[in-house]
Amino acid sequence: MSGPAADVALVVPAVPDSIAVIRQTMSGICEALGADPRVIGDVKLAATEACTNVVLHAYAGTGEGTIEIDASADGDELTLLVRDHGPGMTPAPMAEGLGLGLPLIAALTSSLTIVEPDDGGTEVSMTFALRDHPAEP
């Protein structure tokens, strides 16, 4: 038996105030899908990290931009795609922070893919198991 499906698209300004909206939206999606409480926390944290990277790095020096998030469920998995339209990932030796966001996301997800599309920007795809234990048939 597969769980309920969700297809949600969210576009918000790439500003710090948007992070709370994103966290609340991710929490609501996870709750609607019946995710375990630990998973809800993992999804919120991973989404926060990915979106904070957009706010801090994607549009530096280029003006304001957006964070696009697509959420979709397939059975007992949730996939989040976080997208920006900045210049792409580049090494930033003088960047603030410890650079632990992507390793943390990798630890919280069942899969993580980072792509820089030909038309620019960065796409971070994260997949989460919605339950710590498979649902009973």
Give residue-wise pLDDT tens across range 51-81: 999 998 899 866 689 999 999 999 899 999 9
> Which range, 3-7, 103-107, 126-130, has the best average confidence (pLDDT)?
126-130
- Residue 99: inside a domain: yes
Q: With CA atoms as reference, report the closest residue to 77 among 26, 137, 126.
A: 126
Arithmetic mean of pLDDT over the chain = 85
Kindly report the CATH number assigned to the domain that includes residue 83: 3.30.565.10
* Count of structural domains within the chain: 1
- Residue 110: inside a domain: yes
- Residue 136: inside a domain: no
3-state secondary structure the chain: CCCCCCEEEEEEECCCCHHHHHHHHHHHHHHHCCCCHHHHHHHHHHHHHHHHHHHHHHCCCCCCCEEEEEEEEECCEEEEEEEECCCCCCCCCCCCCCCCHHHHHHHHCCEEEEECCCCCCEEEEEEEECCCCCCCC
- Residue 87: inside a domain: yes
If you average pLDDT over residues 30-55, what whole number do you get? 94
- Residue 137: inside a domain: no
- Residue 41: inside a domain: yes
* 10 contacts 29 by C-beta, under 8 angstroms: no
If you average pLDDT over residues 10-38, what whole number do you get? 94
- Residue 134: inside a domain: no
- Residue 135: inside a domain: no
Domain assignment of residue 93, given as a range? 7-129
Q: Sorting pLDDT into bands at 50, 70 and 90, what band is 93?
A: low
